[in-house]
Structure 1
Amino acid sequence: MLSKSHLKALSFIREFIVHEGYAPTLSEIALGIGIRSKGVVHRYVQALAQEGVIELHAGRKRGITLPEPNKERDMTLPLAGRIAAGRPIEAIEDQVRVDLAAFFIGPGRFALQVCGDSMEEAGILDGDMVVVAQQEHAADGDIVVALIDNEEATLKYLRRNPQGDISLIPANSAMVPMVYAAERVRIQGVVVGQLRTYGKR
């Protein structure tokens, strides 16, 4: 996943190529984005190349080029199923893929479509897509994908209670938290992004 610093370097490289007609050197990039270390710039450039937003040509002083406009990149994540935002429902794997912006792409990330209104006060509405970072640990207050009894998945705020059980808390004042013994709940991921289309659904 590209950081703000990576994107700043990418923006400078693109603008430099457009205005000068050739690529900047590492020293010129460092000067242009306001850092001193060419080593840091080198790491930025390598990361940009790994993401496919620039191309590197070994042995050339100005060996950076931009990809051809018609070069296709896979900017999708698997739509892993539908996730309950009301009563828990089974999360069923799907073959559909969802196009996402580059900053949503990362190792272990996947998309889920929200069903229900239990997270509406957190701004997560029925039909929205959430982007989830797959991980088994989460902090209290995170919005998590929780698997209950290895059968049902739900999207809720996580809270660990002093007595050792776990509350899965909706963001809907008309609903009550669901409380489970800790061994019944397995964290599958933490929400890191959200997508919504407007108009007809």
Structure 2
Amino acid sequence: MLTSKQHELLLFIHQRLAETGVSPSFEEMKEALDLKSKSGVHRLIGALEERQFLRRLPNRARALEVTRLPGMGQPGVSAPAAGQAAMGAAGAAGGAMVSDLAAARARKAAAALPADAPAIAVPLVGKIAAGLPIEAIEDHEQLAVPQALLGAGEHYALQVSGDSMIEAGIFDGDFALIRRTDEAREGDIVVALIDNADATLKYFHREKGMVRLDPANSLYEPQRYLPSRVKIQGKLAGLLRRY
């Protein structure tokens, strides 16, 4: 049986993965569970791993996957197998492979995508900073994306530039798949346009009348702006990586 804190953490991670495809940061987990230090989060994660409710994805910073929930038996499909299925579908869409960050969304859409899974073209509208804000470059290219990775709504793609989101599994050169929206909830990974000129990819928070944009890299500081300076251009829906 799980302790109340283990159960609470597992459900929090599961909900965040279902909503964004991105596991929460240790700081977010600490705050959500009202713990005094991140060491408590590490102990809880270790206990969930031992009980096979949770696994760390190899070679990815801060990448977690919920393998089962309380009351469920052992998962029928292993995480590596499901991840390989998603990657194979992305390869059929022009050589792009789905990263572990987007694999959760792919598995939710289809447990095993066929090799000839249909792809759709989404606009590739330029580069997005995952470090300090840079000017969003408006290009007119198209990117082929497996249809199963995209939910309802209008989408576009941006190529990531910088390293401030690496702890969320988002790396320089990745293609961020963005669902167009002008609204964001606390903790969403968003495309934020600053002063109608500079775009950046960050976690969205509200703090004392300000908008706080948080990186996922301990080397970077949060950015704070008056709400009037920030426009939400979309939310992260998935991620593609070329090899």
Q: TM-score with structure 2 length normalisation? A: 0.50
Whose helix fraction is larger, Structure 1's or Structure 2's? Answer: 2
SS at match of 1:168: strand
Offset at 1:95?
A: 1.5
- Aligned 1:53-68 pairs, distance under 5 A: none
Aligned to 1:175: 220
Report the CA distance between 1:138 and its aligned residue. 0.7
Cα shift at 1:102: 1.0
- Within 5 A, what are the aligned runs for 1:82-101? 82-101=127-146
**Which gives a bigger RCO, structure 1 or 2 (Cα 8 Å, sep 6+)?**
2
Question: How far apart, CA to CA, are the structure 2 residues paired with 1:114 and 1:74?
Answer: 21
Q: 1:180 is matched by which residue type in structure 2?
A: Y
What is the one-letter code of the residue matched to 1:86?
Answer: G
Corresponding residue of 1:197: 242
Please point out which of 187, 190, 196 is paired with 1:150.
196
Distance 1:157 1:172 in 2: 11
Q: Is the contact between residue 192 and residue 200 of structure 2 (CA under 8 Å) also seen in structure 1?
A: yes
The amino acid that maps onto 1:91 is: A
Deviations 1:105-148 (A, max 9, x none): 45310000000000000000000001001001111110000000
Question: For residues 2-59 of structure 1, what are the alpha-carbon distances to aligned partners after superposition, in whole Å with 9 as ceiling and x for unaligned?
Answer: xxxxxxxxxxxxxxxxxxxxxxxxxxxxxxxxxxxxxxxxxxxxxxxxxxxxxxxxxx
**Identity in percent:** 50
Identify the residue that residue 22 of structure 1 maps to in structure 2.
none
1:76 to 110, 116, 121: 121
1:122 to 160, 164, 168: 168
- Tell me the distance in 2 between the aligned counterparts of 1:137 and 1:79: 21
* Offset of residue 180 of structure 1: 0.5
Q: Given the alignment of the two structures, is residue 134 of structure 1 paired with residue 176 of structure 2, yes or no?
A: no
In 1: Cα distance, 2:226 partner to 2:217 partner: 22
Matches within 5 A, 1:28-43: none
One-letter code of the match for 2:194?
I
SS in structure 2 of the partner of residue 183 of structure 1: helix
* Structure 1 letter corresponding to 2:140: Q
Letter in 2 for 1:119: M
Q: Secondary structure at the match of 1:100?
A: strand
Q: Any runs of at least 4 consecutive aligned residues in structure 1 with deviations exceeding 3 A, and if so which?
A: 104-107
How far the C-alpha of 1:104 sits from its partner, in A, is 3.2
Aligned pairs, how many?
A: 125
Q: Hey, what does 1:103 align to over in structure 2?
A: 148
Kindly report the root-mean-square deviation, in angstroms, between the aligned alpha carbons of the 2 structures.
Answer: 1.3
Distance in structure 1 (CA, Å) of the matches to 2:149 and 2:232:
20
Q: State the 1:74 CA deviation.
A: 6.6
- CA gap 1:153/1:121 in 2 versus in 1, 3 angstroms: same
Q: Distance in 1 between matches of 2:157 and 2:219?
A: 27
Which of 1 and 2 has greater Rg?
1
Which stretch shows the higher mean deviation, 99-108 or 173-182?
99-108
Partner SS, residue 174 of structure 1 = coil
Mark the runs of 5 or more structure 2 residues left unpaired by the alignment: 1-117
* Alignment-derived partner of residue 25 in structure 1: none
